[in-house]
Amino acid sequence: MQWLYVNWLYTVSGLGVGLIVGVTGMGGGALMTPLLVLVFGVAPSIAVGTDLLYAAFTKLVGSVAHGRRGTVDWRIVRLLAMGSLPATILCMLALHRLALDEKHLNTLIADVMGVALLLTAVVLALKPYVMKITRHKDGTFYELPAQYLKVATIATGMVLGLLVTISSIGAGVLGMVVLWFLYPRIVPAKLVGTDIAHAVPLTLAAGLGHVALGTVNFALLGSLLLGSVPGIFLGSHLGAKISERVLRNMLAIMLLILGSRLMLSR
């Protein structure tokens, strides 16, 4: 019966993270992966590989919903994917080529995860300032010249591809804040939908790479999905009743604590 007990604990964790994602619209990978590592003692490589497929399934649902509402800019999705998918494939090929033993692979993933968490916390806290610098005092927007915008978007995809493949962190908070900076004229709802839609092929490609690497626990994946689906549903209904600023600051503090714990545990 021990396995049943542990599976239900994972399901409850999925419910909790789902609630936070439903309320804030971000933070899934940034919370789930370190939670699995620090609380449940799951190996970092298994936590990342499993969370990537978990994210692919959950974000697919959100992507379909946004697609039906017309809140996805598919041109931006394609540009991001032009950078992220090749970066993901090259990163997974490099990991296969290096053939790191379990200890060194887990060390690499834990280090990158800690850095990604701290970076995400800082970016999340600075989100209001990023929004301010894209708007001039006369109400006009600061935008990159068109010839640089395409390159910047593809480069953003490349960075996200590398971070997400190794740590499963970055497709949500980091991606959104960069998109807010690059495309200030696009309404936030459409940027959210665009970020979610791009995360689907990214996390799926990275997740399949981890399947080939043998770092996915499918029983754990099923348990997490069982809790997260109702959690996201409930959280989406609670979000309107809670201050976005309070939630953002709370999430940033949580990520700082988790990232610091990961770095200090090295």
Q: How far apart are CA 14 and CA 243, in angstroms?
A: 23
Radius of gyration (Cα) for the chain, nearest Å?
Answer: 18
Q: Model's pTM, two decimal places?
A: 0.82
Tens digit of each residue's pLDDT (9 = 90 or more) over 107-158: 888 888 888 888 877 877 777 776 677 665 655 666 777 778 999 999 999 9
% the chain with pLDDT above 70: 78
Q: How far apart are CA 38 and CA 13, in angstroms?
A: 13
Angle between helices 28-38 and 2-24 (to 10 degrees): 150
For residues 152 and 182, is the Cβ–Cβ distance under 8 A? yes
% the chain with pLDDT above 90: 22
For residues 16 and 151, is the Cβ–Cβ distance under 8 A? no
Q: Which of 24-33, 63-72, 73-82 is the least confident region? A: 24-33
- Token pair, residue 118, equals 């701290």
Best CA proximity match to 194, nearest among 175, 207, 181: 175
Tens digit of each residue's pLDDT (9 = 90 or more) over 174-231: 888 888 888 888 887 788 888 888 989 999 999 999 999 889 999 888 888 888 777 7
Best CA proximity match to 205, nearest among 169, 172, 165, 170: 165
Backbone angles phi, psi at 213, to 5 degrees: -80, -15
